[in-house]
Amino acid sequence: MFKKVHLRLTLLCAGITAVIMIIMSLCYLYVSEKGLYRNQFQSFKNDINTITTNLEQQSVISMEWLSKMEAQGKYLFFVLDNGIPFLYNQLKDYEGELPKKQLLDECLNAYNNTFMIEPSVQTSSSYVSYHFEFEFTSDITNMKYFSSVINMGKASSCLEIIVLSSQESLEKQIWTQRQRFILIDITAILLLTVFSFIFTGKLLRPIMENQQKQIQFVSSASHELRTPLAVILSATECCKTAPSDKREGFLNTIQNEGLRMSSLINDMLTLSQSDNHRFSIQIKPVELDTLLMNSFEAFEPLAKEKFITFNIRLPEEALPLCSADPERISQVVSILLHNAISYTPDNGKIELALSHDKEHFCISVKDNGIGISDEDKEKIFDRFYRAEKSRSTKGHFGLGLSIAYEIVKAHGGNIFVTDADGGGSVFTVMLNT
């Protein structure tokens, strides 16, 4: 399911960014091509102005000058004298050459269509000239041309000088620019897809992990609930047929298993509240030494039952108050003490201690019990995790430390475990002062 979502998200992200990028590229190309065209046309007009001035200064049109200009390859000239092609124009087409005659006809047609005037009808007084610039597409050469018709009077003749400039180089420039953009866009889209894939993968990972944890949590919870439920059902069945003096034993079993289930459900509710950020923490000033003393007294009898030497070590000087939720911190200490007593064999040793420095209060529970392997140390704060060697311990579901972790985290503190000197473990809770 996540693979599909991952792919869809990748396509969506890459698609949206690609569309935006393509639209922007097209806009840029449009503006830039318009600019190129405008500049080229403007430069053609400027050239025509220069050519016109030059021609005006010649008393007789110099064919040599025109040939020189044409030889530069930028322009094509045609001269009409009273509408008749001038000697200058060799309008006969040679093989491999431009079909000049047709080109001239096409240009004059375009000129007439654009300006609706008959070129031959133009009259002009001596040395007064005017010119029009326009653009036309030749069907013969399949090319666009900038062209200009310069009307000029020389002595008794009315001359028309037609200048053509092919847009081939402009088109080449535009085409190269388009190719570059296509290449850039394709590369960018490919890179975008790769990055989108990586980023959406990173984005989805916590969600995937969370879902995995939820699945694991539900399956572990069902598993843990099934055991006491099975015991309750079989005890109920036995209770039905058992003689009355044996019934109490079955009823006690049912009650104990019921209590186990209730404690497990309470633990699961606490964790689910923490996951939904509904974990209520009532922060108030707390005397941590008094709180620890109360926990110590509560667990003393349990320790005595196992002949465990149970000590408490508190600082001698008066402590500043700690901002914390006393109920929750008591719960954390209870979890740690309960574990210490459970995982420490008879005649063992447990010490509950409190210390502080400028920034932290430090609560520690040290035992000389079975200890925790390095591999397990990384996992014991996970939900329903129990180290293999502690599996037989009844009444332990593997939720205690995960609850302690959530409570300490909600206080902005830190909880960790280390090995105790000479075997056993030390659980330390750091709370901010």
Binding site for ligand ADP (CB under 6 A): 335, 339-340, 343, 367, 369-372, 380, 385-387, 390, 396-402, 425
Residue 55 or 308 having the CB closest to ligand ADP: 308
Residue 126 or 266 having the CB closest to ligand ADP: 266
What's the token pair of residue 301?
């009898």
Residue 317 or 388 having the CB closest to ligand ADP: 388
Phi–psi pair at 318, nearest 5 degrees:
-70, 140
Nearest to 288 by CA among 385, 374, 353, 383: 353
Smallest gap, in angstroms, from Cβ of residue 212 to ligand ADP? 19
Smallest gap, in angstroms, from Cβ of residue 12 to ligand ADP? 41
Q: How far apart are CA 351 and CA 330, in angstroms?
A: 16
Q: What number of CA atoms fall less than 13 Å from residue 395's CA on the CB side?
A: 8
State how beta strands 425-432 and 143-154 pair: unpaired
Smallest gap, in angstroms, from Cβ of residue 222 to ligand ADP? 17
Polymer length in residues for the chain: 433
* H-run or E-run covering 71: helix 63-71
Residue 249 or 395 having the CB closest to ligand ADP: 395
What's the token pair of residue 340?
């210490």
Smallest gap, in angstroms, from Cβ of residue 285 to ligand ADP? 28
Residue 197 or 385 having the CB closest to ligand ADP: 385
Smallest gap, in angstroms, from Cβ of residue 290 to ligand ADP? 24
Smallest gap, in angstroms, from Cβ of residue 353 to ligand ADP? 15
Residue 66 or 407 having the CB closest to ligand ADP: 407
Residue matched to tokens 């992990």: 209
Smallest gap, in angstroms, from Cβ of residue 218 to ligand ADP? 18
State how beta strands 360-367 and 349-356 pair: antiparallel
Whether residue 223 contacts residue 264, with contact meaning beta carbons closer than 8 Å, is answered with: no
Angle (CA) 254 272 287, round 5°? 90
What's the token pair of residue 27?
């806009």
Smallest gap, in angstroms, from Cβ of residue 367 to ligand ADP? 5
Q: How far apart are CA 64 and CA 61, in angstroms?
A: 9
Residue 160 or 367 having the CB closest to ligand ADP: 367
What's the token pair of residue 234?
């079989």
Residue 320 or 423 having the CB closest to ligand ADP: 423
Smallest gap, in angstroms, from Cβ of residue 342 to ligand ADP? 6
State how beta strands 76-81 and 157-166 pair: antiparallel
Q: What number of CA atoms fall less than 13 Å from residue 72's CA on the CB side?
A: 9
Which position's Cβ is nearest ligand ADP? 400
Q: How far apart are CA 336 and CA 147, in angstroms?
A: 95
Smallest gap, in angstroms, from Cβ of residue 391 to ligand ADP? 7
Phi–psi pair at 13, nearest 5 degrees:
-60, -50
Residue 47 or 376 having the CB closest to ligand ADP: 376
Phi–psi pair at 149, nearest 5 degrees:
-115, 115
Nearest to 314 by CA among 285, 289, 291: 289
Residue 245 or 388 having the CB closest to ligand ADP: 388
